[in-house]
A and B are shown apart, each in its own frame.
Chain A
C-alpha cells in the first residue's frame, strides 16, 4: 500500500499529486457522496424547528416514509392515495415516454447512421442538435403555445373542420406527454446512433443478399448489436423523464401532478425538508431499481452501458 502511494507521488510530482488528490476528495467526497449520505440521513429525521435540532427530539424515524405510503393519521383513506397514485402515474408515464422515444428515434438513428449520405448526414446531425440548445423551459413553453386552446393546432383542426370544440391538450395532459416525449429525444438518438454507426454495413448487405426481409435484419442483426446504445438511451430518457420538473411545471394542467412537483412542494410550501428528502430518496432508489430490473429482463450487462 505504502509502495503504491510512493510510486504515485514519484510519478506525478508533489504538486500535481496534491492537486489530483485534493480535487478528487472535493469532487467525489464533498460534492457527490457526502451530500447523498446527508440527504439519506435527513430523510429519517423529524421536521423540527431550528431550535430543537440536535436536541433530544432529533432522533431517527420512519415517519416520512410511512407518510408516503399511508398518508397522515387524520386522513380518511388508509393509504396515501394521492401521492401513491402520482408516483405510479409518474413512473408509468416515464416508461411510456421511453418506449415512444425509442420507437421514434430508432428509425431516425438508423437512417442517420446507414442511409443518409455524408454532407446530408452532417446537416441532419446539426439539425438535431439545434433544438436542444434552446432551454428546456422554452421548449416546454413552445408546446404550451402550440397546444393551448387557442393555439395553432386547435385553430388548424377547427378550421379544417376536424373538430368544433378545441381539444384541451393541456388539461388532458396530452400536452405534457407530447412535451416529455420531445424533451429528451436527443439523448435517445445519439447513443443508438453511435452504436449502429459502428456496425459494419456489409453485414446488412450480406443479410439482404441472402434474402432476409428488412424487419428480420433489424431484429437479428442491428438491434442485438445496438443493444448497449439502446440501453443507455432508454436509461437516460427514463431517469430524466421520471425526474423531470420543468415540463410538468409548465405543461402540467392543474389536475396533473408529477412526483417531482410533490417533492418541490414539500420544500417550497410545506417547509418540510426532511419529508421532501424522503420523497427524493424514494425517487432515486425506485428509478435505479427499475432500470436494473429492466436491464436484467433484457439481459444487458452493466459494463456495456458505460461505453
Chain B
C-alpha cells in the first residue's frame, strides 16, 4: 500500500498536472492565434516563423467588408441595449408581482430564450416578421425585412433574459420598505421609481448594458439568419474564415484579447478600490465623529497608472517596431524559398528518373484525393487573398507560393510531389 503521505502528494501532483494541461487546452489556441498575427506568412501560422510584422493590422483596418460589418455590429448592439434592458427590467419586476402559482410558468417562458438554440430564435424572428410584413403588404425595402431591425429584435429576445437575471439578482438585495417610505412621504409612484429604485439598480443597469452589448456584438447563430442581406462583424468574419484566410483575422483576435485584458485589469482595480472604501467606512463608524471615508482618486492610484503605462507601452512598441526591418526580413525569406524551390526541382527530377526506372513502386496515391481537397481549400484561400505578397507570384504562374503551405516536409500538398505533378498537369491542361 502506498503510505498516505505519498498518495496525497501523488494526488496533488496529478491534480496540478491536470489543471496545467487544462489551461494549456484553454489558452493554447488563443496564444497560437495571437502570435500568428505577427507573422508575415500569408496563411496564419507560427511555424515556420517568417518575419515579425504588424502589417496585418493595417490590412485589418483597410478591409471595407470588415469595417462595414463592424459599424453594423455596433449599431445593432446599441439598439439591442436600448431595447432589451428595459424589457429585462420589466421582466424582473413582474416576477416579484406574479402570483406564486403562475410564477414557475412565467419564469420558464422568460428563461427559454437562453436555452432555445440561437438558430431557432433567428429563424422564428425571420418567419414572424415575414408573415407580419405580408399581412401589411409591405415591400422588401420596409423595416419588416431590414436586417438591422430584425437582428435587433431577434437578439433582444435573449439579451433581455440575461438582463432580467442580472436585475433579479440585484433586486433580491433591495429592501422594498424603502418604496413604502417614499410613498408615505408623499412621492408619486413614478417619483419613487426614479428616485429610489433606479439609483439602487444603477450598477445592475450598467452590468446589463455591458453584458447586453457584448452578447449582441459577438452573436452569430441568431444573427446569421436575421441579418438577411446585410452583414455584421461576426458574419463577415465567418465568411472570411471559411473562404479567405489571412492573419488580419488573427490581428483582430489580438485586439479583442488585448481589450479584454485591459478591461479585466481595470475591473480588478476598481473592485479593490470599492472594497477598501467599505472597510474605511466601517472603521469610521466605529470611531464616531464627523470624519468621512472617501474613495481614492483613480488618477493617482498606482496600480492604475502602472497598468495604463504598460498598455500604452505595449501598443506603442507594436506600432513602431512593426515598421522596422520587415522588408529586409521578407527579402531574406524570399531568397530562402527560392533556393528551396530550386532544390526541390532538382530532387524531383532525380526522383522522376528513378520512377521511370521502377514503375512497380507505387507511392501513396490513395492519400492524394483527401488531402488534395484540403490543399485545394487552402489553395482557394490564398487565391482569394490578394494582399498576401506571395500571391503575386502565383498569379504570374510561379509555383513558389505552394511552398508556403507545405513547409517543405514532403507532404502530399506539395505540388512537386511525384503524384501531384501528373494531376496538376492534367488540370492545368
Q: Mark A124-159, 1 if CB is under 8 A from B, else 0.
A: 001111110111111111111110111110011010
Q: Mark A87-128, 1 if CB is under 8 A from B, else 0.
A: 000000000000000001001100100010000000000111
Partner of B413, one of A31, A149, A263: A149
Q: Known contacts A108-B22, A306-B111; decide if A276 and B123 are in contact (CB<8 Å).
A: yes
B320 within 8 A of A: no
A-B contact pairs, 26 of them (CB 8 A): A4-B99, A13-B190, A13-B193, A14-B189, A15-B189, A23-B89, A33-B109, A35-B125, A36-B124, A38-B128, A128-B26, A131-B26, A131-B30, A133-B263, A135-B234, A135-B237, A138-B237, A145-B36, A145-B250, A146-B32, A152-B32, A249-B238, A263-B123, A264-B225, A306-B107, A306-B111
Min CB distance A2 to B, Å, is 15
A27 vs B257: C-alpha distance in the bound complex, in angstroms? Answer: 33
Query: Assuming A16-B190, A127-B26, A245-B220, what are 15 further A-B pairs, CB within 8 angstroms?
Result: A23-B89, A26-B87, A31-B113, A35-B125, A137-B220, A138-B33, A141-B241, A141-B253, A142-B33, A151-B32, A171-B374, A182-B26, A249-B242, A250-B241, A284-B116
Question: Do B30 and A39 have beta carbons less than 8 Å apart?
Answer: no
Min CB distance B207 to A, Å, is 14
**Given the complex, which residues of A lie within 8 Å of B245, measured CB to CB?**
141, 144
B85-116 interface with A by 8 A CB criterion: 86-87, 89-91, 93-94, 97, 99, 104, 107-113, 115-116
Min CB distance B51 to A, Å, is 17
A166-206 interface with B by 8 A CB criterion: 166, 168, 170-171, 182, 185
A286 vs B90: C-alpha distance in the bound complex, in angstroms? Answer: 32
**Given the complex, which residues of B lie within 8 Å of A280, measured CB to CB?**
119-120, 123-124
Min CB distance A31 to B, Å, is 4
Question: Do B160 and A168 have beta carbons less than 8 Å apart?
Answer: no
Question: Do B23 and A127 have beta carbons less than 8 Å apart?
Answer: yes
- Nearest A residue (CB) for B222: A245
A242 within 8 A of B: yes
A260 within 8 A of B: yes
Q: Known contacts A39-B127, A138-B237, A254-B373; decide if A246 and B189 are in contact (CB<8 Å).
A: no
Partner of B264, one of A126, A236, A243, A276: A126
5 cross-chain pairs, A with B, having the tightest CB-CB distances, nearest first: A13-B189, A243-B117, A23-B90, A35-B124, A142-B29
- Nearest B residue (CB) for A25: B90
B231-247 interface with A by 8 A CB criterion: 234, 237-238, 241-242, 245
A111 vs B110: C-alpha distance in the bound complex, in angstroms? Answer: 33
A19 vs B190: C-alpha distance in the bound complex, in angstroms? Answer: 11
A257 within 8 A of B: no
B411 within 8 A of A: yes
**Given the complex, which residues of A lie within 8 Å of B18, measured CB to CB?**
107-108
Min CB distance B174 to A, Å, is 15
A24 within 8 A of B: yes
A264 vs B242: C-alpha distance in the bound complex, in angstroms? Answer: 15
A46 within 8 A of B: no
Q: Known contacts A20-B90, A245-B119; decide if A138 and B45 are in contact (CB<8 Å).
A: no
**Given the complex, which residues of A lie within 8 Å of B130, measured CB to CB?**
273
Question: Do A139 and B30 have beta carbons less than 8 Å apart?
Answer: yes
B5 within 8 A of A: no
A284 vs B423: C-alpha distance in the bound complex, in angstroms? Answer: 46
A34 vs B95: C-alpha distance in the bound complex, in angstroms? Answer: 21
B134 within 8 A of A: yes
Task: Pick from B53-61, B293-301, B322-330, B401-409 the stretch touching chain A.
Answer: B401-409
B164-208 interface with A by 8 A CB criterion: 188-190, 192-193
Q: Known contacts A111-B19, A144-B241, A306-B107; decide if A134 and B260 are in contact (CB<8 Å).
A: yes
Question: Do B45 and A151 have beta carbons less than 8 Å apart?
Answer: yes
Binding site for A on B (CB under 8 A): 11, 15, 18-19, 22-23, 25-30, 32-33, 36, 43-47, 86-87, 89-91, 93-94, 97, 99, 104, 107-113, 115-121, 123-128, 130-131, 134, 153, 156-157, 160, 188-190, 192-193, 214, 218, 220-221, 224-225, 234, 237-238, 241-242, 245, 249-250, 252-253, 256-257, 260-261, 263-264, 268, 367, 370-371, 373-375, 377-378, 405-407, 409, 411-413
Q: Known contacts A137-B220, A149-B411; decide if A260 and B117 are in contact (CB<8 Å).
A: yes
A263-286 interface with B by 8 A CB criterion: 263-264, 267, 273, 276-277, 280-281, 283-284
A26 vs B86: C-alpha distance in the bound complex, in angstroms? Answer: 11
A273 vs B221: C-alpha distance in the bound complex, in angstroms? Answer: 16
Q: Known contacts A11-B97, A19-B90; decide if A284 and B117 are in contact (CB<8 Å).
A: yes
Partner of A150, one of B116, B120, B260, B405: B405
Min CB distance B201 to A, Å, is 14
Min CB distance B274 to A, Å, is 15
Question: Do B29 and A182 have beta carbons less than 8 Å apart?
Answer: yes
Question: Do A138 and B374 have beta carbons less than 8 Å apart?
Answer: no
Q: Pick from A14, A149, A235, A283 the residue with the most CB of B within 10 Å.
A: A149
Question: Do A142 and B238 have beta carbons less than 8 Å apart?
Answer: no
**Given the complex, which residues of B lie within 8 Å of A182, measured CB to CB?**
25-26, 29
Partner of A31, one of B156, B374, B378: B156
**Given the complex, which residues of B lie within 8 Å of A298, measured CB to CB?**
none
